[in-house]
Amino acid sequence: MTATIEAKQTQKLALPQGFKRYGLQGTLNLIFRPLPSLEGYRDRYGDIYYSPTFAGFPPFIVISNAEGVEALFTADPELFDTASSNTSFIPLLGNQSILQLDGEPHKKRRKLLMPSFHGQRLQSYGEIITNITQSVINGWQKDNVFSMRKASQEITLSVILQAVFGISKGDQYQSLKEQLGNYLDLFNSPIYTTTLFLSFLQKNWGRWSPWGNFIYQRNKVYELLSQEIDKRGTGTEGEDILSLLLSAIDEEGEHLSKNEVMSELMTMLFAGHETTASSLAWAFYWLHFHPEIYHNLKDELDTINVDSDPMEIAKLPYLSAVVSETLRIYPIALFTFSRTLKTSWEFMGYSLEKGISLAPCIYLLHHHPDIYPNSKQFKPERFLDRQFSPYEYIPFGGSNRRCLGYALALYEMKLVLATVLKQVDLKLVNSQPILPVRRGFTTSPQGGVKMQVSNFK
């Protein structure tokens, strides 16, 4: 039977008795206890349900089975508008980045940026990644307690600045690193995270109000990026992203505006290191939480040298499986971007009308019992035993919006893990399980994964 879902309808697909809009409590649960809330909705409403509203996000259809994801990802991308669902990112990243583009301009921007994350360019980042990791290791001392999330962020931020942006020396580099760190660390606080989701709290009442401080910190990052842009000018010829953006010319012979370049830089900086840093911290946590998995990986790493070819390291099967399982069990992004229908569409037996949004829930899909038995168990062997389809395993989303930096993220995670584990024995400071908490739009391990070096080899 075909049901019709209208854009303004606020009922769930299966229309359960007594279903209500989330109240403030429901919204706060989704912000602060996202995983149990999502599991609760899935248990009540099934694999595909209509989420009436999620704070600043418009209502959307939540998809958490492979059939639904396949139907969405194999549909013509021209059916959907993604930019209109991405407006919540604007205060954080500006309003002119790839996240705010659709159709032809989106395709062109992807084409411009893509080479920086693939092929030869990607390979050339290997040495930079291992050198940066080495310098972070050099700063560790035996028995000192440190946050692995912070150490990973130090690495991933330096990688994006040096490898992708071509900024590696001098005061500008240091200032940008520090200021970006301050800006993004605001989202460790529940107050700042809440303001991102509840737009009525976005009031600038001066530096001492949360939103005022957020704007202040953001503008300081903008200032530093603006200086870097002015320093380079449009005649720049490097292969890094900033040079590519500054030298790009559209059909009318125009360069991108400074605002466009700034927004894109913010997006690349944010998307390009926050996510990878949290994922790396999780990988270290899981490996040290499960000694037998750690030992399996150590056996594999014993077959290579510290100075082995980074591309060879990236191909190691058990290391790859550990990284894949890390991104499965607690995906950093709980959802892909929403896709909003530009026209009516038949989806899984439902007639959807123009204006309805759909988004795969990465977390629920990655815990679907038909695909991942004992899904709460960290088990890299799953990825050795079988290959999952691009609709069953989607840490980087899919279709025309698939994460632009996925190859860099995977490469970076593997090289950092191999470089650290070959040289240092680490241990977790606490033996209790760590759960994910929200960090702005993403999730990360609660408490940042406190670790100690027990031995330098």
Q: Which residues bind ligand HEM (CB under 6 A)?
A: 98-99, 110, 267-268, 271-272, 275-276, 279, 332-333, 336-337, 395-398, 401-405, 408-409
Nearer to ligand HEM, 140 or 282 (CB): 282
Nearer to ligand HEM, 179 or 278 (CB): 278
Nearer to ligand HEM, 167 or 332 (CB): 332
- Say how far apart CA 375 and CA 367 lie, in whole Å: 5
Question: What residues contact residue 304 under an 8 Å CB cut-off, 6+ apart?
Answer: 312, 313, 316, 418, 422
How buried is residue 419: exposed, middle or buried, by Cβ count under 10 Å (0-12/13-18/19+)?
buried
Nearer to ligand HEM, 133 or 336 (CB): 336
The amino acid at residue 394 is: I
For residue 20, the minimal CB distance to ligand HEM (Å) is 28
- Say how far apart CA 331 and CA 438 lie, in whole Å: 12
3-state secondary structure of 83: helix
For residue 191, the minimal CB distance to ligand HEM (Å) is 25
The amino acid at residue 374 is: N
Nearer to ligand HEM, 116 or 213 (CB): 116
User: Rounded to whole angstroms, what are the CA distances from 137 to 18, 145, 151, 201, 450?
Assistant: 56, 13, 9, 41, 15
Nearer to ligand HEM, 352 or 358 (CB): 358
Nearer to ligand HEM, 211 or 393 (CB): 393
For residue 358, the minimal CB distance to ligand HEM (Å) is 11
Nearer to ligand HEM, 105 or 206 (CB): 105
For residue 400, the minimal CB distance to ligand HEM (Å) is 7
Nearer to ligand HEM, 156 or 213 (CB): 156
Residue of 180, 417, 424, 209 whose CA lies nearest to 318 = 417
- Say how far apart CA 36 and CA 266 lie, in whole Å: 31
For residue 156, the minimal CB distance to ligand HEM (Å) is 8
Cα-based torsion angle of the residue sequence 335, 337, 342, 345 in order, rounded to the nearest 10 degrees = -30
State the CB neighbour count (10 A cutoff) for residue 122: 21
Tokens 């584990």 belong to 421
Q: How many CA atoms lie within 13 A of 29 on its CB side?
A: 13
For residue 284, the minimal CB distance to ligand HEM (Å) is 14
Nearer to ligand HEM, 54 or 396 (CB): 396
Residue 85 DSSP symbol = G
For residue 326, the minimal CB distance to ligand HEM (Å) is 9
Question: What residues contact residue 316 under an 8 Å CB cut-off, 6+ apart?
Answer: 300, 301, 303, 304, 414, 418
| Phi, psi of 401, rounded to the nearest 5 degrees | -110, 10
For residue 102, the minimal CB distance to ligand HEM (Å) is 9
Helix (H) or strand (E) holding 247: helix 241-247
For residue 81, the minimal CB distance to ligand HEM (Å) is 12
- Say how far apart CA 361 and CA 312 lie, in whole Å: 33
For residue 212, the minimal CB distance to ligand HEM (Å) is 29
The amino acid at residue 275 is: T
Question: What residues contact residue 416 under an 8 Å CB cut-off, 6+ apart?
Answer: 129, 133, 152, 155, 280
Nearer to ligand HEM, 283 or 352 (CB): 283
For residue 366, the minimal CB distance to ligand HEM (Å) is 11
Residue of 70, 50, 68 whose CA lies nearest to 60 = 50
Sign of CA dihedral 170, 174, 177, 182: negative
